[in-house]
Amino acid sequence: MFKKILIANRGEIALRVIRTCQEMGIKTVAVYSTEDHASMHVKIADESICIGNPSPKDSYLNIPAILTAAEITRAEAIHPGVGFLSENAKFAYLVEKHNIKFIGPSSKHITIMSNKVLAKKVMKKFGMPVLNDSSKNINNIREAICIADKIQYPVIVKASTGGGGKGIKVCYSKKDLQSNFFLSQEESKINFNNDQIFLEKYLECPKHIEVQILSDSFNNVIHLGERDCSLQRRYQKIWEEAPSPTIEKKIINELGKKINNAVKNIGYEGIGTLEFLFENNKFYFLEMNTRIQVEHTVTEMITGIDIIKEQIRIAEGRKLSFSQSDIKLRGHSIQCRINAENHYNFTPSSEKVTFYHPPGGMGVRIDSHLYNGYSVPHQYDSMISKLVVFGNNRKECLLRLRRALNEFIIEGPLTTIPLHQKIMSHKDIQLGTFNINWLEKWLRKQVKMNTA
């Protein structure tokens, strides 16, 4: 069992990992930038060490500084959290080379799954359904036009590495492709230091469904059901729920068996999430995230399983605590991502929190690093809180969510709480019939109404 773990991250996810470590009797080390010296994860960790200036490249992406911090504090393992270096194969490799356990899969599996083209090839080999695509990276516009004609429009241009909606362009014609091809390459180069892109068939109205898996070193693999992450703005999730409100359990169970088989065949070890598009009762594999997901909370609420705890246990070389037959899904859970943003135009709002009152009561969970007097920095992701609610069914869950949003007070920075309050009353949200394009269309209507 690990005695001390360093958390190579910040904010609510660092706090989330620290809390589980404390409940497991494991000492923790927080790393922080000079901007984050007063952050909550620094305050509650057993030890803390500054690793650089506010810029991520000087701190949370600074591999030598993080490894040095681990050696100085004699940490036995490093938990990468979400974002930053969590899916960086070089980092995972160097951590292991320093005789420190990386709490995640091997650098080999991170390398495979961080490349969307390669990941699709591997998973297709073991039975995962995929969309028609270029099956390789594309380097010039002539080749792209030829492949698009075979796939048939509309097509989507994607960065082969990275995520967060960067480098993604939808093309309905040859003219669109000609204008967007180089834009996608440039965006990918800027954000991921890699200009490789590929083409894929574009679905007009799919849902975005993901499945959480756990896999130990004894080749035991289980899945924890699905999450519906279809409410998105610019391919960034803002609302997630489990289970999906509209997909039949039978279809999910069939997919789960295929997933378990594929993950077992590639010899994956750790936790992960397989992401799919779902349209006309068919699933299409998109990618696999080799880390904890922001939205892992809703799965925890309906399974009663601490996924971070299982992730640490797997890294320690232990067997999974349960088998697939032990997994029983109960009730419904929804998570709203609360960002420090103007909910009209989504510009970041980096201000001091003058008053903070999170909601409470049965079935309400808040994952946040906020407190009265905390100053929201502008250098990092704008998500400042996750509001998670649970109900015995989806109707109860929605009613509880409404109540919790009305209770939630954050003064100082502008937040997206009003956005969630508005959309949850829409009939499509109430029925669960939204898709990945629903929010963008709704937002455009709001702009027209406000400018009319």
Q: What is the DSSP string of 54-85?
A: SSGGGTTT-HHHHHHHHHHHT-SEEE--SSTT
Residue 147 DSSP SS3: helix
**Residue 125 burial (10 A CB sphere; 0-12, 13-18, 19+):** exposed
- The CATH number assigned to the domain with range 132-201 reads 3.30.1490.20
Of 293 and 192, more confident: 293
Alpha helix stretches (DSSP H) within 159-248: 174-192
For the cut 80, the answer to whether the pLDDT of residue 313 exceeds it is yes
Tell me the whole-structure pTM to 2 decimals.
0.95
Token match 């999910």: residue? Answer: 252
What CATH fold (topology level) applies to the domain 207-451?
D-amino Acid Aminotransferase; Chain A, domain 1 (3.30.470)
Q: What Cα–Cα distance (Å) separates residue 318 from each residue in 21, 309, 311?
A: 16, 11, 10
Structure tokens belonging to residue 193: 């230091």
Q: What Cα–Cα distance (Å) separates residue 257 from each residue in 52, 234, 244, 251, 271?
A: 45, 31, 17, 10, 16
Q: What is the tens place of the pLDDT at every residue in 383-417?
A: 999 999 999 999 999 999 999 999 999 999 999 99
Q: What Cα–Cα distance (Å) separates residue 1 from each residue in 18, 100, 102, 303?
A: 16, 13, 14, 24
For the chain, residues classed under CATH 3.40.50.20 are: 4-103
For the cut 90, the answer to whether the pLDDT of residue 448 exceeds it is no
CB 226 within 8 A of CB 209: yes
CB atoms within 10 A of CB 321: 15
Helix axes 107-114 and 89-97, enclosed angle (nearest 10): 170
Question: What is the pLDDT, as a whole number, of residue 452?
Answer: 63
Angle in degrees, CA 404, 385, 434, rounded to 5:
65
Of 448 and 303, more confident: 303
The C-alpha atoms of residue 255 and residue 123 are separated, in whole angstroms, by: 13
User: Mean pLDDT over all residues of the chain?
Assistant: 95
**Nearby residues of 405 by Cβ (< 8 Å), 6 or more positions away:** 336, 359, 387, 417, 420, 421, 424
Catalytically active residues are: 291
Structure tokens belonging to residue 100: 């420190």
For the chain, residues classed under CATH 3.30.470.20 are: 207-451
Ranking 28-32, 186-190, 428-432 by mean pLDDT, the lowest is: 186-190
Question: What is the pLDDT, as a whole number, of residue 139?
Answer: 85
For the cut 70, the answer to whether the pLDDT of residue 56 exceeds it is yes
Ranking 14-23, 184-193, 231-240, 402-411 by mean pLDDT, the lowest is: 184-193
Residues forming beta bridges with residue 257, ordered by sequence position: none
Of 178 and 271, more confident: 271
Question: What is the pLDDT, as a whole number, of residue 135?
Answer: 87
Amino acid residing at 100 = I
CA-based diameter of the chain, in Å?
A: 63
Structure tokens belonging to residue 170: 């939808």
Q: Does 3.40.50.20 match the CATH number of domain 4-103?
A: yes
For the chain, residues classed under CATH 3.30.1490.20 are: 132-201
Question: What is the pLDDT, as a whole number, of residue 189?
Answer: 83
The pLDDT-based confidence of 426 (bands split at 50, 70, 90) is very high
Q: Which of 160, 298, 280 is nearest to 229 (CA)?
A: 298
CB atoms within 10 A of CB 182: 14
Peptide bond between residue 54 and the one before it cis (omega within 30 degrees of 0): no
The helix or strand, by DSSP H or E, that contains position 109, with its residue range, turns out to be helix 107-114
The helix or strand, by DSSP H or E, that contains position 420, with its residue range, turns out to be helix 417-423
The pLDDT-based confidence of 190 (bands split at 50, 70, 90) is confident
